[in-house]
């Protein structure tokens, strides 16, 4: 009863609306990526009509300068965004959380060294640093993921280190140490479970940010090579035709980026609303 409150009481909690809308958006985009071959009416890299056709029932979002269907390209393009962003944030999360817990738990020289490295990484604007790393590694979705992961490790590290410091001073952690438990056990079964909520909040807020960074990288052509469908890259191609009045080439990929980022941001905001309530209680 304590653990599974009813759905009705869950909805009344603060942040519920944000979470529901956010989850819905993310779910739809995931579904689109998963079922792209079924949903997309055309092959994203084959001509689906005359070039630069405005939106119509036949081509929902029009066609681009090569006659490719924009809607189909967006549906297929969600795969690249999701793959790059999710693998990057998972890597950043795992590395950042492990380093943060170890650093906060042990303190001392290791902590100071890691903090220094992380702070210097954090000092760079994330997009610029990601561009620099991706440019050095060369354009590919894999390298883009590495660049994004590197940029976001400090975000996790700093939050988790701070939380670990405060959880470490809790008496039950001290009691676990006094009972002679191994450091590893104390970190894994006493500190980590108390971090899960925080991790969830940073993760969702961070994914939203990472989506924008990924879009920035693909805008510069650092993730895929044409004609692979990709939101950021399509946005950039469309930009050339924007002033000539062919707005649908850029606007729809741009909207897709915005909506997906919004979805994750809403989940994160909703979760942190709930976290604050817990703190006030």
The one among 14, 46, 174, 240 contacting another protein by CB under 8 A: 174
Minimum Å gap between C-beta 96 and another protein is 22
Residue 200 binds to another protein (criterion: CB under 8 A): no
Phi, psi of 73 (to 5 degrees): -65, -35
Residue 177 binds to another protein (criterion: CB under 8 A): yes
Residue 178 binds to another protein (criterion: CB under 8 A): yes
The one among 107, 138, 162, 226 contacting another protein by CB under 8 A: 107
Residue 162 binds to another protein (criterion: CB under 8 A): no
Closer to another protein by Cβ: residue 186 or 237: 186
CB 78 within 8 A of CB 29: yes
Distance CA 21, CA 15 (A): 10
Any alpha helices (H) in the chain, and if so which ranges?
7-12, 16-34, 36-39, 70-106, 108-123, 126-137, 141-168, 171-178, 183-185, 196-219, 231-242, 248-280
Closer to another protein by Cβ: residue 17 or 175: 175
Distance CA 265, CA 161 (A): 23
Residue 189 binds to another protein (criterion: CB under 8 A): yes
Minimum Å gap between C-beta 268 and another protein is 22
Chain residues binding another protein by CB under 8 A are: 107, 169-172, 174-183, 185, 189-190, 193-194
């Amino acid at each position: 009863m304590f653990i599974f409150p009813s759905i009705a009481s869950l909805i009344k909690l603060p942040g519920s609306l944000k979470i529901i809308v956010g989850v819905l958006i993310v779910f739809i985009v995931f579904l689109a990526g998963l079922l792209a071959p079924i949903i997309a009416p055309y092959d994203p890299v084959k001509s689906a009509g005359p070039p630069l056709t405005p939106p119509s029932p036949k081509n929902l979002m029009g066609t681009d300068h090569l006659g490719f269907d924009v809607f189909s390209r967006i549906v297929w393009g969600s795969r690249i965004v999701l793959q790059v962003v999710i693998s990057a944030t998972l890597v950043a999360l795992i590395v950042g959380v492990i380093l943060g817990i170890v650093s906060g738990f042990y303190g001392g020289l290791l902590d100071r060294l890691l903090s220094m490295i992380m702070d210097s990484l954090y000092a760079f604007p994330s997009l610029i640093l990601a561009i620099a790393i991706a440019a050095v590694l060369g354009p590919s979705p894999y390298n883009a993921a590495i660049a994004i992961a590197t940029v976001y490790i400090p975000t996790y590290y700093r939050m988790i280190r701070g939380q670990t410091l405060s959880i470490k001073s809790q008496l039950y952690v001290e009691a676990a140490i006094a009972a002679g438990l191994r450091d590893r056990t104390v970190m894994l079964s006493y500190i980590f479970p108390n971090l899960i909520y925080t991790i969830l909040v940073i993760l969702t807020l961070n994914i939203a940010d990472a989506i924008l960074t990924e879009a920035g990288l693909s805008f510069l052509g650092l993730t895929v090579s044409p004609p692979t469908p990709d939101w950021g890259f399509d946005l950039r191609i469309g930009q050339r035709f924007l002033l000539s009045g062919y707005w649908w080439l850029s606007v729809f990929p741009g909207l897709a980026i915005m909506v997906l980022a919004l979805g994750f941001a809403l989940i994160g905001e909703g979760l942190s609303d709930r976290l604050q309530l817990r703190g006030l209680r």
